[in-house]
Structure 1
Amino acid sequence: MKVFKKFIKYYKPYKFLFFTDMFCALIVSLVDLSFPIILSYLSKNFFMKNREVVLRGIIYIGIGLAVMYIVKYFCQYFIASWGHVMGAKMETDMRQDLFYHLQMLPFSYYDENNTGEMMSKLVSDLFDISELAHHGPENIFISALKILGSFVILLMINVKMTLILMLVTVFMVIFSVNKNRKMQKIFFDNRKKIASVNSSVQDSLEGIRVVKSFANEAVEQKKFDASNNNYLKSKVKSYKAMGQFIAGNSLFQGMLYLSIIVSGAVFIKQGTLKISDLAVYALYINIFINPIDVLINFMEQFQKGYAGFKRFIEVIETKPNIIDKPNAEELKNVKGNIEFKNVCFRYDETHEVIHNFNIKIEKGKTVAFVGPSGGGKTTICSLLPRFYDVTEGAITIDGKDIREVTLNSLRNAIGVVQQDVYIFSGTIRDNIAYGKYGATEEEIIEAAKGANIHDYIMSLEDGYDTFVGERGVKLSGGQKQRISIARVFLKNPPILILDEATSALDNESERYIQKSLEKLSHGRTSIVIAHRLSTIRNADEIIVIKDRGIKEKGNHEELLKREGVYYYYYNMQFDGLEA
């Protein structure tokens, strides 16, 4: 019932379409139910009259029947077209809800879940839900009307024969319910297995350059075959279950016909049933059985849609753990004074990354973090824009706890330049403009000049309209990095985080980008993570982070004089590399 209530709410914006669809379904059912009654009445009463009356009356009867079937045509058209439109609109609403919710979920959710599986929920699952949303109420309503209506009429023709029919139908329902329960689990497993296939494809295609560089096509094929064959096994199970379900119901339908023939023969011989009534009874048996056929065929669609909606609900009910407090304030007029107070952070109960971390960064100053990989430098920087929340302690900007301000205003105040730059498929203009929605052409060009990439862009045939390909495949590492810096120039934030922004570049690109970063950092509070110590010599303070905390801090000259950890790293990079 909980799942059903959540499903029903998506019908609310389309009540008119839904009730019109149900009304049309009612008309279609009444037309189908009325024909045997009309035929029975005509054969018993009207056709027995004299020739002139029959010939004169049949014209009006024909016109009446034609009107009836024309009305049915328009109702059927509405069901087939606008009923599907309603389902498509509901699918769109669900996809929007799912996508918006995925945007709200924290980094920790994406650490645990695969993009391919999310795509499966956004596309294939929601299509099955859309089909269920349209066909579900309509099929159930029409089938229920026909079964109930034909059953009442069958009772009026012969009670005893109808009770026999009812007994066989009860066994049929019991069989269907039991099989349906088993199919639920199988179809839910189907959704998981196809999501695994999508995940395998997405992972392999995104890393296609790595795959080819290692000549590992065969390895990827084996991985894909494993997930593909698991999906096949799950589909085989589902089709076997469906086969048993359909074949079992077909057997019961045969039993229905058998019971009618046997009991009909007995009742005719007893004189309690007329042969003409048996003919009408046979017509209604078809009307009684056809909706059962519809419901049987609908079960596969129902199971797919139900399994898809349950997976949809699982995501929608995942609560984002990083959200605005009810009384959160906007972070305005940011000066850039940052303080970490006794900050601890762990990804899970056993893995503490940061322990009792304390630093103050004054506005406009540049602080650099250095140390071994895995020491927690990037994690510390991820805590500032609340990509993750601190486990203990607090982080403040201008004296305000970052958990007390809105996420939007906090992240608008912080610009991040990462080592792993993400370039969106589209033009260079689109990618730079991502830093400020609605930026003017002049602002985009100014940002590109600030990042030292304007001249390169203008050397291209299409200039700022140059298509960069998926993930910026047509650009070099240095060009991508400068575009990401141009984004931040456009954003113009008071606080800057540079996460190993030059570590993957050649010396010439690094020189260009270092100039861009120095220009970008001017007048801003900057936190720099660097492995290349040459890039941070001019930092106001250098903090060496190792084993969950601070080992030493000071400026470049002070740390070299101490001959501690920083001195060791510096000599490793510049003096003692060969040794």
Structure 2
Amino acid sequence: MSLKNSQQPARQRPGGPMGRGGHMMGMPVEKAKDFRGTLTRLTKYLKPEKYRFIAVFFLAIASTLFSIVGPKIMGKATTKLADGVLAKYAYFTKLYMAIQENMPAAVVNNLKKQPIPGFDFGYIGKILLLLVVLYIFSALCSYVMAYIMSGVSQNTVYRMRNDVKDKLDRLPLKYFDQRTYGEILSRVTNDMDNIATTLQQSLTQLITSLITVIGILIMMLSISPLMTLIAVVTLPVSMLITMQIAKNSQKFFAAQQKCVGELNGHVEEMYAGHKIVKVFGHEEDSIEKFKEINARLYGVGWKAQFISGIIFPALNFVNNIGYVLICVVGGLLVAHKKIEVGDIQAFIQYIRQFTQPIIQVANIANVLQSTVASAERVFEVLDEEEQVPDSEDAKVIEFPQGRVKFEHVKFGYKEDTPLMDDLSIDVKEGSTIAIVGPTGAGKTTLVNLIMRFYEVQGGRITVDGVDIRDMKRGDLRAMFGMVLQDTWLFNGSIRDNIAYGRDGATEEEIISAAKAANADHFIKTLPDGYDTILNEEASNISQGQKQLLTIARAILADPAILILDEATSNIDTRTEVLIQRAMANLMKGKTSFVIAHRLSTIRDADLILVMNQGAIIEQGSHTELLAKGGFYAELYNSQFTGASA
């Protein structure tokens, strides 16, 4: 039993102890290779939005300042309430002492006639009204800021997506051959979404957090420099504790990610091959391995969560000590009439607000690292070398005949590793050319060069005497029709899939093409006939039926040159007969290149090219090559031992 041991990276949580949307404290953060250069380049995409971005900046300042002055103003109301309480206390204390000391009745009566001190609710009401207005303005500024910033972020990413899409259209085929589809899609989707989220949320949060820290520091200094000094002293202690805990927890988070990836890989592997596991009786081994990985994950996960979880209790301990010191010092300052009672209440509010934006800035710094790394991956796509542009005075073959010539062609996927050194072929129009050879011989490379998916490094390829480099790629490829081993059908009706071969095809032409491909019969047996909807993987029809539809599509396109790449390799013998008939109809009067491993399928070819290591080592008809007793004969006899030639 051989199962692929894939290890997938763990998916990060969307939030953590440090708040929603932030990276969990201690989690490893992906970093860019060139942070400054990438950030500068990303900033250039914001230039068209600079005026709106400036507006966002000032709105963030206004929103933050309105919310910052709130505690100071509220402190005034608290002081006024305290003054009322003290005035009442002084009045009743004075009256009580007069009665206790047996003062004259006139004095006591005079005290009783005095109005009892009360609270200045008018002043307090004005303060509360002012606070309501300030907080409303702050909320409005935040709303407008978020609205503008959403437009800024989406417009910026919209331009980036367009640039990436245009770039992908201009990239050569080798770029896509060297990378997985998932990697390319991740850069266009996940990385773009990461950039958009950061621009919309984290960037404004960074601005407001920095302004909040500066504003609160100024407000605390305006109340008491001594209490501010006590508050600021606790900050380095808090940061030191956080850094030490994060340093210790990061290695456990890294180990946790590794274990989660290993566990996911094992589970995926076992479920994908569960029949094989059961047939060979490896259930117990699978369970034991799962338990072993799960136990390791439990160990490192528990340590990572516990160590990161003690950050807040430790910070609260330090902060509470700071509150005690501030309350003591503040009480002494009130006693000496240096500050008011409401100032202590405002100061404590400022302290509570002071640490949160600092933590947010630290989290946003991590988010920015990840975002710049995403931007760097996007810019890597934009910096890729593009395919050679089409010639401005491109030639057009109005009525292609299908004659193809390779003249001393040189090519290699790597500059220092040539695959073809001096390849020359002359294919007459209307002939059928079969290309055979072992895996890696260069058969598919030959087709890629004809269609200019790759550029030749020497020599030239001509179609009807015209160098393909002197033609537009679109015009060149319009002359070709392809039927590949891996069928490609899209989610839609059978009619639409066949009509994909030619724009504006009529219903009669579509049905005629299906009949020529021997596909009409099976299509009519389907519940909805030509209106049958194929699902995304076209798994609701058989492999042979898929192939017949692709042949029908090629017949409808009616190209001058055909390329058939292993079109029957995955088909059963009975279906192969139908496909062979369909391909015979397709190939009539057309130049055809047939790549095949089943040598029985190319016996009737006009010319068979035998390739090995990028060179044509033999050529001739089926009978001629067998008579030579060379490489082709060896390939043929190895597949059809005892068969008659």
Equivalent in the alignment of 1:535: 601
Counterpart AA for 2:39: F
1:343–1:355 CA contact under 8 A, matched in 2: yes
Q: Tell me whether 284-293 or 432-441 shows the greater mean CA deviation.
A: 432-441
AA aligned to 1:152 is I
State the Cα distance separating 1:139 from its structure 2 match. Answer: 0.9
**For 1:472-487, what aligned pairs fall within 5 Å after superposition?**
472-487=538-553
Task: Please say if 1:549 is aligned against 2:549.
Answer: no
- Does 2:459 match 1:424? no
TM-score (normalised: structure 1): 0.78
Deviation at residue 401 of structure 1 after TM alignment? 4.4
Residues 253-297 of structure 1 show CA distances to partners (whole Å, capped at 9, x for unaligned) of 556546634654676677755554333322332332342344355
Q: Is the 8 A contact 1:338 1:360 kept in 2?
A: yes
Which structure exhibits the higher relative contact order, with contacts defined as CA atoms closer than 8 Å and separated by 6 or more residues?
A: 2
Q: Residue 494 of structure 1: which of 552, 556, 560 is its match? A: 560
Counterparts of 2:415 and 2:401 in 1: how far apart (Å)?
36
State the match for 2:70 in structure 1. Answer: 35
1:5 corresponds in structure 2 to 40
**Residues 434 and 593, structure 2, Cα contact 8 Å, conserved in 1:** yes
1:379 aligns with: 445
Alignment partner, residue 469 of structure 1: 535
Q: Does residue 60 of structure 2 align to residue 25 of structure 1?
A: yes
Say whether the 8 Å CA contact 2:79–2:340 is kept in structure 1.
no
Corresponding position of 1:295: 361
Q: Deviations over 1:484-513 (max 9, x none)?
A: 122323433332211121233234322322
Instruction: Name whichever of 220-229 and 323-332 sits farther off.
Output: 220-229
Larger radius of gyration: 2
**Are 2:478 and 1:412 equivalent residues in the alignment?**
yes
CA distance in 1, matches of 2:629, 2:457: 34
Judged with a 3 Å threshold, the aligned counterparts in structure 2 of structure 1 residues 87 and 194 are, in CA distance, closer, same or farther, namely farther
Following superposition, the deviation at residue 481 of structure 1 comes to 0.9
Q: Name the CA distance, whole Å, in 2 between partners of 1:515 and 1:335.
A: 23
Q: Taking structure 1 as reference, are residues 401 and 187 closer, same or farther at Cα in structure 2, changes over 3 Å only?
A: farther
Identity %: 33
| SS of structure 1 residue aligned to 2:574 | helix
After superposition, where does 1:201-280 map in structure 2 within 5 Å? 253=319, 257=323, 260-261=326-327, 264=330, 273=339, 275-280=341-346
What is the correspondence of 1:38-437 to structure 2 with a 5 Å cutoff?
A: 38-42=73-77, 54=120, 62-78=128-144, 105-118=171-184, 120-121=186-187, 124-166=190-232, 168-169=234-235, 253=319, 257=323, 260-261=326-327, 264=330, 273=339, 275-296=341-362, 298=364, 301-302=367-368, 305-314=371-380, 316-317=381-382, 319-320=384-385, 322-324=387-389, 329=394, 332-333=397-398, 334-348=400-414, 352-403=418-469, 405-436=471-502
Q: CA deviation at 1:421?
A: 1.7
- Quickly say closer, same or farther: Cα 1:45–1:565, change in 2 above 3 A: closer
Q: Provide the rounded CA distance (Å) in 1 between the counterparts of 2:386 and 2:364.
A: 39
User: 3-state SS of the aligned residue for 1:448?
Assistant: helix
Separation in structure 2 between the aligned mates of residue 336 and residue 232 of structure 1, nearest angstrom:
66
Partners of 1:12 and 1:509 lie apart in 2 by: 60
- Name structure 1 gaps, 5 residues minimum: none
Q: Matches of 1:116 and 1:201 in 2, distance apart?
A: 21
1:6 Cα deviation (Å)?
A: 3.9
8 Å Cα contact 2:77/2:124 also seen in 1: no
Give CA deviations for 1:22-58 in whole Å, capped at 9, x if unaligned: 4543343122112123234456689979999955566
* CA distance in structure 2 between the aligned counterparts of 1:223 and 1:123, rounded to whole angstroms: 35
Question: CA shift at 1:194, angstroms?
Answer: 8.8
Provide the rounded CA distance (Å) in 2 between the counterparts of 1:489 and 1:515. Answer: 13
SS in 2 for 1:471: coil
How far has the Cα of 1:376 moved from its partner?
Answer: 2.0
CA RMSD of aligned residues (A): 4.9
Distance 1:326 1:568, change over 3 A: closer
CA distance in 1, matches of 2:150, 2:591: 55
**Compared with structure 1, are the counterparts of its residues 203 and 516 closer, same or farther at alpha carbon in structure 2 (3 Å cutoff)?**
farther
Task: Encode CA deviations 1:58-111: one digit per residue, 9 max, x unaligned.
Answer: 666555443433334444445667756765666666666656655665554455
What is the distance in 1 between the residues matched to 2:52 and 2:612?
63
The alpha carbon displacement at 1:244 in A equals 7.6
